[in-house]
Amino acid sequence: MGGFTATNAENRRIVPENPNGRPTMKVVYVVLESQYQSSMTAAVKRINVGNDNMAVECVGYLLEELRNEDAYEQFKKDVEEANIFIGSLIFVQELAEKVVDVVKPARDNLDAVLVFPSMPEVMRLNKVGGFTMKNLGQSKSVVADFMKKKKQEDGSSFEEGMLKLLRTLPKVLKFLPSDKAADARTFMMSFQYWLGGSPENLQSLLTMVGQDYVAPIKKNMEGKEKMVAEEPMLLPDKAIWHPVAPNFVFETPQDYFKWYDNEFCPDAGIDPKTAPTIGILLQKSHINTKDDTHYVSLIAEMESRGARVVPVYSGGLDYSGPVKEYFVGSNGKPIVDTIVNLTGFALVGGPASQDHKKAARVLKELNVPYMCAVPLVFQSFEEWQSSELGLHPIQVALQVSLPEIDGAIEPIIYAGREGATGRSVPLADRVNLLADRSLKWANLKNKKKADKKIAITIFSFPPDKGNVGTAAYLDVFDSIKAVLKQLKEEGYDVGDAPMKKEDIMEAILNDPEAKISSPELNVAYRMSTDEYYELTPYATELEENWGPAPGNLNSDGQNLVVYGKQFGNVFIGVQPSFGYEGDPMRLLFAKSASPHHGFAAYYTYLEKIFKADAVLHFGTHGSLEFMPGKQVGMSGTCYPDRLINSLPSAYLYAANNPSEATIAKRRSYSATVSYLTPPAENAGLYKGLKELKELISSYQGLRENESRGPAIVNSIVSTAYTCNLDKDVDLPDLDTYSALNDTVENRDDIVGSVYAQIMQIESRLLPCGLHTVGVPPTAEEAIATLVNIAQLDRPEDGIEGLPRVIAASVGRDINEVYRGNNQGVLADVELNTRIVEASRAAVRALVVQSTDSSGRVKEVKSIFEDMSGFFGQKKPYTKAIIEAGFPKIEEERMQPVMEYLEFCLKQVVANNELGGIMELLNGEFLMPAPGGDPIRNPDVLPTGRNMHALDPSAIPTTAAVEVSEGVVRKLLEKLSDENDGEYPESIAFTLWGTDNIKTYGESLAQVLALVGVRPIADSLGRVNKVELIPLEELGRPRIDVVVSCSGVFRDLFINQMNLMDRGIKMAAEADEPLDQNFVRKHALQQAEELGVSLREASARVFSNSAGSYSANVGLAIENGGWEDESQLQEQFLSRKGFAFNADKPGMMEAQADLFKSALSTVDVTFQNLDSSEISITDVSHYYDSDPTKVVQGLRNDGKKPKSMMADTTTANAQVRSLSETVRLDARTKLLNPKFYEGMLSTGYEGVREIQKRLRNTMGWSATAGEVDNFVFEDANDTFINDPEMQQRLLDTNPNAFRDMVTTFLEANGRGYWDTSEENIERLQELYAEVEDRIEGV
């Protein structure tokens, strides 16, 4: 089957046993969730046994089951024979369409169609006698109004709207002719019966509709007494419900506590005065239909642990009112210590439309942890258990992604449903975990701070003493110092913890200089194997991968060893590594191995020996959340779940990495706290590049001068060769060229193209230094960030970018200036440079207003409240632009962008990082915020909030589709220009999770654009279908793609993998000429070659198997333990060869042959760079998934594909070759004094950062072979041949320096760097010297 949902509609089919001549009506229903099944079944049986005038045949379908072909065919047949159709909560676009396709043609023959809140196109099917949806709003369609008000102020949703209609119904009925009024009344009554949900209510509904609208029954009733419609039995709209309460529900908290505290608690042995109190949110339909065992079970577990509970339900989908009404006491203080939402939906608006801001506001008023647990809706318990992916993707989108945007944590699955009856069943081990974890969070709120134990966990990656305390962009030990200071101030016991960065390092590393011989870190605890097996319930299961404990990782031979140091009640520990970094065999496994004993022992120690009240994971990122297990919706056998168990976890995560942060939230139950990445500055120029810029500016003054002009051009050409720019710019031959014999126009062209190249390097953004938690940026850093924010147009906010406004003042369109600049037109390069300078000057003028004496911005003084404007004076920023040479600038036109920049400046300085950490450790609610690139989306700021990704059904956005079409056009133009006008036939693509969050799905949209399909949004604005763009409109062939998705992308965007797969298959099945449709051309060849169907052969969307991440190529290269390139290629193929198939969305299938055969047709490999912070040598991810040499090995002609990179880091998007990008990156980072001096200024961590860039540069040699020799040569000159620099590196971090020497030797040994004998000898001597130094000889 392979789908997530097996079909059991047959369990929901009831045929009357003996009609005895009674007329029988047939009812077909389709619902989103299964709790109606048992009530419906009971209602139908009651009618068949007790009603003399009619009998009922009935069959029900769960919405998701309609994906299955057989079930869909059966559904068609059933509807054709039916008298009545009922539908409810049909909110999944492609399935809504299927329902409409079946019911619409049958609508005239059906006696009645009842559709309760659903997508508008389904709602339009309603008919009861003469009543349809059109009648309700006299002139306009009510449904259309619902849709328009999707973003209503009060966030109310369909159900609320319909309930309002119920109340105003008597007024509406006055205007309807009497027969229509009766029909409308029937519809509204049926809606009330449906909401009532109990068997009695549904029995009334069926009887009423049957006797009035189904002809044979109506006829049979002539002269008999009709059943009088019972009043619907409705529970109050919202109330407190407790399973053993005598009067079922309580409408006020006073009534509830009178019974609960005085009668229930004393009997249950709960002390109402001291007990922690958990607020629980329930779904009313489960209580109506009495399908509540999963609720009862959780309440019982909590009470048996001595907690009080306040279980609240609401009939509408906006829970913000009930939360305030029932969880806040008469004194205005919250009664509850933790809130657990068991509905699985967003707090306001449920599955339809949400108001996240309102939800977060209400939750912050209560200020307690908010957990959103998930009941399985579309899968039975067995299906979820056997699925590698875990929770169904539709459910992840509705019930994990959306609650996260409210600020919810911990999506623990606590209930399943029984296949046969559709009833909810509690999952015992999950219910226990949920009870334990919710009480641990409550404990953080109630325990005295002096008694609370906190475990700070730091990472070491790759495992080596030189790498302890690694985290992206974070100065870890300096930040720990800040956190310790804050803990101490707030009254936590930090013992004798040192308050100097070096002393903290000393305590954990023994000796940061590593002058002594022990390579070991400080040992905090030795755990005997007996103790380990006794306290770690799953320890024996690790033996399959690692043999019996203790093994040889984190062990001294007898015991397992925990590294770290305790100060008072605070423990700072080092998380062990994955354990298979250096083992070539394990790196090849298609699925990742379990954690090793040392890793398990570390978490056992935290929870059961140190007895931590909470863990603080320090920085991006460790290995806990990437351990094997399901993708989302962990079971008790998934390793992240076993390791973290009941420990509350706070996780400090870089704000620009929302995708991995989301995995930490879902797989390791962590609440995240975002931290700022260091601000980016312009890379600037140095050495020969600086000299070139000076030469160019003197040429501009002397270009007409016949003797000096040409002489300068000759120097420019020769200096450009010295700087290796000949690879990026078309330079004339050095030996034969003389500028004297050349025209002025040609000279301008040469100078212009060199100039454009240098400006590209100079204006490249560089993250400078490392961030320390809680330190606001300096004025210079703020300016750097704001200049980048200022250059983007933001049409949705009515903001023009600053460069656009400045260019307009001299009558130019900025896009034309960019185009001329990229082509090296001297005048445009010059103008572009002046515009950049002018916008920088304007931003500086804005920031200077708010800078204090220490050069930092602490509070923002508004430039707009300044009175000087009255006296006709211009604003400081306007003056700055005029002084920069643009006298005609319009102040008015700049106002929107400048006001926006001032708002952004406030966000940049409103840092709450230390505050955020403390809020979590104190058991408070941490406000949610999106993660991503602060330049594209300044809402990411201020940091120190709980980070979430975006609503996965919202991408790609229309704006992203437009940008991506532009990039695809540039890419194809560039490729066909270089290939005599021929288009490439196939492009291999890499998709990343974070990039698609930052850009709202740009690279995803590029894949669709190449194939020639267009994403379409449904009426709720969610993107979940695609259509083919006709070839005439496309104006070029459809290009084939092979998409390799990162494991993170697979976790977050399974719905988008579905979109791509459907779009590509659509293209493959289009009956078009093969020279115009390369997707079809290749798929037909593969189908024949592999003996599969065309549809199977067009699988193009690949990733790792569920629960595994990365091709491990990065791990192999970082640790040096790889034989040769073929091993890396083999790893890539075996780990990335799992196909996604929209026809069977429940799993990733191993399809290595298809993967290889698709890759063998690839002409071009392609990746995107979307933000200046993470470039291609900053992280190993980019080359880890680069298939360039893999393709070369698979192609029949052995030709290496072209490697291209799109760069959308600035408003001026460009497409470059990979080797160009590697050179640009090396010149701006590794070889740039501004970069390496900035890094070295942070000391120990800085050396490691430089070495990481060198190692990653070599990674590109290994996977793509696109690194020029000069990059290694210049790096060797900079770091090794300069004795003073060599000494600094050696003294600061000898371990990392040793890695650097090794990397150079390895690059030479593997043939990536060709250099002199003496260089190699020098490196070999150095290696021996460093070894001695580290061993302390």
Confidence of residue 506 (pLDDT cuts 50, 70, 90): confident
Which residue has better confidence, 832 or 131?
A: 832
First-residue to last-residue Cα distance in the chain: 65
Q: How confident is the model at residue 866 (pLDDT cuts 50, 70, 90)?
A: low
The residues pairing with 671 across neighbouring beta strands, listed in sequence order, are 650
Cis peptide preceding 956, ω within 30 of 0: yes
Of the pLDDT bands very low, low, confident and very high (cuts 50, 70, 90), residue 683 is: confident
Q: Which is nearest to 786 in space by CA: 864, 852, 857?
A: 857
Say yes or no to pLDDT of 904 above 60.
yes
pLDDT confidence of residue 151: 37
Separation between Cα atoms, residue 821 and residue 243, nearest integer Å? 72
Q: Work out the average pLDDT over 86-102.
A: 88
**Token pair recorded at residue 825:** 């037109």
Instruction: Reply yes or no on whether the pLDDT at 133 is more than 80.
Output: no
Give the 3-state secondary structure of residue 372.
strand
Q: Residue 154 has what pLDDT?
A: 36
Q: Tokens for 728?
A: 């990026």
Please report the beta strands in 1138-1197, taking only residues with DSSP state E, as ranges in sequence order.
1138-1140, 1148-1150, 1164-1169
Contact 504, 478 (CB under 8 A): no
Determine the average pLDDT of the residues in 889-896: 90
- Residue 871 CB neighbours (<10 A): 6
Q: What pLDDT was estimated at residue 1212?
A: 76
Task: Note the pLDDT of residue 472.
Answer: 77
Inter-CA distances, 1238 with 85, 688, 1053, 1180, 1279, Å = 69, 20, 37, 21, 15
Using pLDDT thresholds of 50, 70 and 90, give the confidence band for residue 6. low
pLDDT for residue 1020: 65
* Candidate from 107-121, 764-778, 969-983, 1153-1167 with smallest mean pLDDT: 764-778
- Measure CA 224 to chain center: 63
- The residue type of 182 is A
Contact 1056, 955 (CB under 8 A): yes
Helices (H) and strands (E) in the chain, counts: 58, 35
Average pLDDT over residues 841-867: 78
| CA-based torsion, 692, 697, 700, 705: positive or negative | negative
Under DSSP, the state recorded for 543 is H
Phi then psi for residue 961, to 5 deg, are -65, -40
Any residues with CB less than 8 A from the CB of 509 and at least 6 apart, and which?
465, 468, 521, 522
**For 223-279, how does the pLDDT look when each residue is reduced to its tens digit (9 = 90+)?**
888 777 677 777 888 999 999 988 779 999 999 999 999 999 999 999 999 999 999
* CA dist., res. 709 & res. 702, Å (int): 5
Query: 281 CB contacts (<8 Å, ≥6 apart)?
Result: 312, 313, 314, 319, 322, 323, 339, 340, 341, 342, 343
Q: What percent of the chain has pLDDT over 70?
A: 92
Other CB atoms within 10 A of residue 939 CB: 12
From CA 542, how far away is CA 1308, in angstroms rounded?
Answer: 39
pLDDT at 168 over 60: no
Alpha-carbon span 896 to 793, nearest angstrom: 11
Highest mean pLDDT among 136-140, 576-580, 1091-1095: 1091-1095
- For the chain, give the number of residues: 1337
Nearest to 431 by CA among 345, 541, 305, 535: 305
Whether the bond into 462 is cis, omega within 30 of 0: yes
**pLDDT, tens digit (0-9, with 9 covering 90-100), for 701-717:** 887 888 888 888 999 99
Instruction: Please give the Cα distance from 1003 to 968 (Å, whole number).
Output: 10
Give kind and range of the element (H or E) at residue 905: helix 891-909
Q: CA triplet 49, 24, 65: central angle to 5 degrees?
A: 95
Give the separation between CA 539 and CA 205, rounded to whole angstroms: 56
458/444 Cα distance (integer angstroms): 22
Say if residue 142's pLDDT is above 60: no
> Over 50: is that where the pLDDT of 518 sits?
no
* E strand residue ranges, 1085-1243: 1101-1103, 1138-1140, 1148-1150, 1164-1169, 1202-1207, 1214-1217
Structure confidence by residue, pLDDT tens digits, 1041-1061 = 999 998 888 888 888 888 999
Mean of pLDDT over the chain: 86
What mean pLDDT comes out for the span 21-29?
Answer: 93
The 10s digit of each residue's pLDDT in 519-529 is 578 888 999 99
Helix or strand holding residue 973 (H, E)? helix 958-977
Backbone angles phi, psi at 292, to 5 degrees: -130, 15
| Mean pLDDT, residues 383-391 | 85
Virtual torsion, Cα 975, 981, 983, 989, nearest 10 deg? 0
In sign, the C-alpha dihedral spanning 1265, 1266, 1267, 1270 is: positive
Which of 906, 901, 844, 851 lies closest to 877, judged by CA? 844
pLDDT digits (tens, 9 = 90+) for 796-845: 788 999 999 999 999 999 989 988 888 888 889 889 989 999 999 999 99
Rounded Cα distance, 790 and 898, in Å: 8
pLDDT for residue 794: 86
Res. 124: pLDDT tops 80:
yes
| CA-CA-CA-CA dihedral for 728, 729, 734, 737, to nearest 10 | 170
pLDDT (0 to 100) of residue 389 = 83
The encoded tokens of residue 533 equal: 């097996």
| 1103-1123: average pLDDT | 78
Q: What is the DSSP letter of 318?
A: B
pLDDT > 80? residue 913:
yes
Q: Which of 90-94, 106-110, 149-153, 746-750 tops mean pLDDT?
A: 106-110
The DSSP line for 1306-1329 is HHHHTTS----HHHHHHHHHHHHH
Buried b (16+ CB within 10 A) or exposed e, 741-755: ebeeeebbbbbbbbb
| 69-77 mean pLDDT | 92
pLDDT score at 148: 46
pLDDT at 592 over 90: no
Residue 1007 token pair: 């894949």
Q: Count the alpha carbons within 13 Å of 781 in the hemisphere toward its beta carbon.
A: 20
In the structure, what pLDDT confidence band is assigned to residue 149 with cuts at 50, 70 and 90? very low
Q: How confident is the model at residue 7 (pLDDT cuts 50, 70, 90)?
A: low
Give dist(CA 262, CA 267) in Å, integer: 9
In sequence order, what are the residues at sequence separation of 6 or more whose Cβ sits closer than 8 angstroms to the Cβ of residue 454? Answer: 487, 492, 569, 570, 571, 612, 613, 614, 615, 616, 921
Cβ(1048)–Cβ(660) under 8 Å?
A: yes
Q: Tens of pLDDT along 1207-1263? A: 877 777 788 888 988 998 899 899 999 889 988 888 888 888 899 899 999 988 988
Residue 777 corresponds to which amino acid?
P
* Closest to 405 measured CA to CA, from 445, 348, 320: 348
Is residue 162 predicted with pLDDT exceeding 80?
Answer: no
Q: What is the mean pLDDT of residues 1275-1296?
A: 91
